[in-house]
Amino acid sequence: MFSIGRKTLTTYCVRFGHAAVKLGLLTEEQLKEALCEQVEDDLTCRPHRLLGEICSQNGWITSDQIKKVMEVLAGEEEARKAGLS
């Protein structure tokens, strides 16, 4: 589905939902539901799914929108690193 590596996605998954809401791609209610699904998966020993994957499977966000969120997060990370140098 995505050309971005899983390691990259895992690095940014904590902030993915917040960024998607801020960009207007998800509602807060959709984010809460996705987080609940993610926790339920983990608690019932189902394979862990990333928030973007859950949102995509529910039809709330497209792969192009996921890429946009990841680009924004990658840009923020680069800016953060540049500020620490």
Length in residues, the chain: 85
pLDDT digits (tens, 9 = 90+) for 24-39: 999 999 999 999 999 9
Nearest to 66 by CA among 74, 48, 47: 74
Q: How many Å apart are CA 40 and CA 20, to the nearest integer? A: 21
Q: Report which of residues 78 and 44 the model is more confident about.
A: 44
CA 9 centroid distance within chain:
7
The two three-digit tokens of residue 38, written as one number: 């993610």
Residues 4, 17: Cα–Cα separation, whole Å: 17
- pTM for this one? 0.74
Q: The tokens of 33 are what?
A: 């539901």
